[in-house]
Amino acid sequence: MAFTLTVTNMGFAALVNAQHTGTAPVTIAAFGLSEDALAPAPALTSLPGEVKRLATLSGDQVDDGTIHLVVRDDSADSYTMRSVGLYLADGTLFAIYGQEEPIIAKAAASMMLLAVDARFANIDAALLSFGDTNFLNPPATTERLGVVELATLAEAQAGVDAERPVPPAALLGAVTAWLNARFGMGNSGIWHPGNDGAGSGLDADLWRGQTPAQFLDSYVTAALVLARLGFTPVNKAGDVMTGPLALPGAPTASLHATTKKYVDDLVAGAGIGFTPVNRAGDTMTGRLTLSDVPLNIMHAANKGYVDDQTAAAAVLARLMTVDGAGSGLDADLWRGQTPAQFLDSFVTTALVLARIGYTPLNRAGDILGGFLTLHAAPSAAMHAANKGYVDTAVAGAALGFTPVNRAGDTMTGRLTLSAAPTSNLHAATKQYADQLVTAAALLAKLVTVDGAGSGLDADMLDGYHAGDFDRITARSHAATGYRIHADGFKEMWGSAYVPAGGTTNVEFPNGGFSSWVNLSLGVSIRASGGTQDNVGWTTKSTSGFTLRNVEGIGQQVEWSARGV
């Protein structure tokens, strides 16, 4: 144990040399002990209540202000020591120390062996010498052999203690903690087969038990394709529109779709000056500009609407609605294929058409294979015109076909556009839409919003769910500490002092256990002739346990517990 000794006035006087020009060395010859609790005072010349004085002591200097002192008493005396005094060879009381609590209690059948580290604030420990030195065991330093205290895991991780050596287990724990802090948990900051994710190169055979073909059959449905498009395209075989179809201009070829203005001009007698779109189906030679973005699934879609719905951010937003646990999203490859290879081999034009259930119109211009039914008569100059509108407007002018109603109409044949759209309100061709949903196009957009921070959530790591890993949910690495595992398993540890012939109640930290506990004790018997059987636990529960000591001297017990 450690003492802070008070040097008496007589002790300081003994340190003064005969010439009164400096200090002189002195020899500590005896160790006095008292059962009285005293407050050390420099004016004392003897130890109050002294019951015994021992000459069996050994000591040495540890550093400039500290000595290590070992005192032995193998007599049959019994006492409870609370105060001590150091005597010089001439009987001078050199230094004293006292406290309320017992320093040590000796039974008649035991031997007292007391090791003390004493520090002096105002004198040089090198001035002190001792008699018998045959049983000294001082604390070890870098220059001296002696007793050491091993560092704990927490002390090894802190890295500030220069006195305690580190055992291999604590060294491993400290290095592991440092590597985890430096390179991520499990060295995830450095690539190795144990960590995967974007860029890891992980090649999985299945996605949640499904092959790529099975996944496509169950996941890439017509509803999903329509959700990705963001609108319902016009069926190339014929369809019913629910909104207006705005054309890019007046028709200039016989198969072009016609606008309301063209028909109105024709009816007004000014002459159409172009060939209107045939309601039964036609081929446009110029662009079809719509009046606005579509408002329902049967409206013709403009280029801006299609671009917005297939933009990277929009694709990611839709992905996030079907992402997460249980989605099946996993590694970098499927059966050895990158996303681009997978899309090229599986998401073909035939697959897309099969999922939609019909062939959409080509935005660059197409020929309808059935009727196109618009949602209403045209109300703006550039709306596609329905048959009823044209019939009413022409009133027998005999165009030779039924034009598309600009307010909205249902076509009975294909509508072929002149070219791919170049502005937001242009009608889109099938070719333009097909180019936006190719594997390469989708991949190019996905990689701009993929990666760290994208929010994409893979379902498994190396084929395991997160719950399959042993995670620590709570911990305390204090001297009395604990570690709580995610599956409910708990580890706890600590130490307790049990007085001679007495008991000590110990409570488990962090609320203890809830179901069962296994308790282990470590005891180093301090009394001569004692055995570990004389110290143990008498009662145990999930909240704590009771230790009992039948030895004649207090014991320090280290314990550990595991359970649920």
| 320 part of a folded domain | no
pLDDT at 564 over 90: yes
Q: How far apart are CA 188 and CA 204, in angstroms?
A: 20
Confidence grade of residue 348 (pLDDT, cut at 50, 70, 90): confident
Confidence grade of residue 52 (pLDDT, cut at 50, 70, 90): very high
Q: State residue 500's pLDDT score.
A: 92
Secondary structure (H, E, C), 353-383: HHHHCCCECCCCCCCCCCEEECCCCCCCCCE
Query: Percentage of the chain with pLDDT > 70?
Result: 81
Please give the average per-residue pLDDT across 430-441, as a whole number: 86
Q: How far apart are CA 492 and CA 352, in angstroms?
A: 59
| 160 part of a folded domain | yes
Q: State residue 532's pLDDT score.
A: 65
Q: How far apart are CA 500 and CA 503, in angstroms?
A: 8
Confidence grade of residue 199 (pLDDT, cut at 50, 70, 90): low
Tell me the per-residue pLDDT of 230-289, one tens digit each, with 9 for 90 and over. 888 888 888 898 989 888 888 989 888 888 888 877 776 555 567 777 888 889 898 889
Q: How far apart are CA 442 and CA 428, in angstroms?
A: 18
Q: How far apart are CA 497 and CA 506, in angstroms?
A: 10
Confidence grade of residue 388 (pLDDT, cut at 50, 70, 90): confident
How many alpha carbons fall within 13 Å on the CB side of residue 87? 20
Beta-bridge partners for 562: 491, 518
The position carrying tokens 């995670």 is: 471
Sheet of 555-563, strands arranged across: 472-476, 481-485, 490-498, 555-563, 517-523
pLDDT at 344 over 90: no
Question: Which residues have C-beta within 8 Å of that of residue 416, sequence separation ≥ 6?
Answer: 255, 282, 283, 284, 362, 365, 366, 367
| 35 part of a folded domain | yes
The residue with greater pLDDT, 194 or 510, is 510
- Least trusted range by pLDDT, from 161-165, 287-291, 479-483: 161-165
| 415 part of a folded domain | yes
Whether 386 and 288 map to the same domain: the answer is yes
Whether 237 and 273 map to the same domain: the answer is yes
Whether 367 and 491 map to the same domain: the answer is no
Inter-residue contact 48 to 36 (CB < 8 Å): yes
Whether 164 and 126 map to the same domain: the answer is no
Residue 122, burial from CB neighbour count under 10 angstroms (0-12, 13-18, 19+): exposed
| 457 part of a folded domain | no
Whether 413 and 492 map to the same domain: the answer is no
Q: State residue 530's pLDDT score.
A: 61
Q: State residue 135's pLDDT score.
A: 47
Query: Residue 535 is encoded by which pair of tokens?
Result: 């110290």
- Which CATH number characterizes residue 502's domain? 2.60.40.3940
Whether 368 and 266 map to the same domain: the answer is yes
The position carrying tokens 């294979």 is: 369
pLDDT at 203 over 90: no
Please give the average per-residue pLDDT across 504-523, as a whole number: 93
Alpha-carbon distances, residue 5 vs 73, 136, 481 (angstroms): 21, 19, 34
Q: How far apart are CA 383 and CA 98, in angstroms?
A: 105
Q: How far apart are CA 71 and CA 113, in angstroms?
A: 6
Q: How far apart are CA 370 and CA 364, in angstroms?
A: 18
Whether 416 and 483 map to the same domain: the answer is no
- Calculate the CA 156 to chain-centre distance: 24
Q: How far apart are CA 286 and CA 253, in angstroms?
A: 9
Q: State residue 528's pLDDT score.
A: 53
Please give the average per-residue pLDDT across 517-533, as a whole number: 74
| 380 part of a folded domain | yes
Q: State residue 188's pLDDT score.
A: 60
Q: How far apart are CA 467 and CA 474, in angstroms?
A: 16
Whether 176 and 303 map to the same domain: the answer is no
pLDDT at 182 over 60: yes
Alpha-carbon distances, residue 329 vs 209, 214, 425, 437 (angstroms): 12, 14, 36, 20
Please give the average per-residue pLDDT across 168-172, as a whole number: 88
Alpha helices by DSSP H, listed for 202-280, are 212-219, 222-229, 260-267
| 495 part of a folded domain | yes
Tell me the per-residue pLDDT of 305-339, one tens digit each, with 9 for 90 and over. 888 888 888 877 877 777 666 766 666 776 778 87
Alpha-carbon distances, residue 474 vs 446, 509, 510 (angstroms): 38, 12, 10
Whether 161 and 120 map to the same domain: the answer is no
Confidence grade of residue 128 (pLDDT, cut at 50, 70, 90): low
Q: State residue 331's pLDDT score.
A: 62
pLDDT at 26 over 90: no
How many alpha carbons fall within 13 Å on the CB side of residue 391? 6
Whether 262 and 180 map to the same domain: the answer is no
Query: Residue 191 is encoded by which pair of tokens?
Result: 């690539």
What are the counts of helices (DSSP H) followed by strands (DSSP E) for the chain? Answer: 13, 27
By C-alpha distance, which of 147, 130, 125, 129 is closest to 138? Answer: 147
Tell me the per-residue pLDDT of 54-63, one tens digit each, with 9 for 90 and over. 988 887 777 7
> Would the pTM of this model clear 0.85, i.e. be above it?
no
Q: State residue 198's pLDDT score.
A: 62
Whether 416 and 492 map to the same domain: the answer is no
Please give the average per-residue pLDDT across 23-32, as a whole number: 82
Average pLDDT, the chain: 82
- Least trusted range by pLDDT, from 452-456, 524-528, 546-550: 524-528
Q: How far apart are CA 459 and CA 326, in angstroms?
A: 6
Query: Residue 5 is encoded by which pair of tokens?
Result: 């000794």
Query: Residue 184 is encoded by which pair of tokens?
Result: 């991520």
**Structural domain count of the chain:** 4
Q: State residue 192's pLDDT score.
A: 59
| 216 part of a folded domain | no
Phi/psi for 120 (5° steps) reads -110, 130
Whether 81 and 122 map to the same domain: the answer is yes
Q: How far apart are CA 373 and CA 240, in angstroms?
A: 4
Tell me the per-residue pLDDT of 69-126, one tens digit each, with 9 for 90 and over. 888 898 999 999 999 999 998 999 999 999 999 999 999 999 988 887 777 655 655 6
pLDDT at 167 over 80: yes
Q: Which domain holds residue 126?
A: 2-130
Query: Percentage of the chain with pLDDT > 90?
Result: 26
Inter-residue contact 299 to 242 (CB < 8 Å): yes
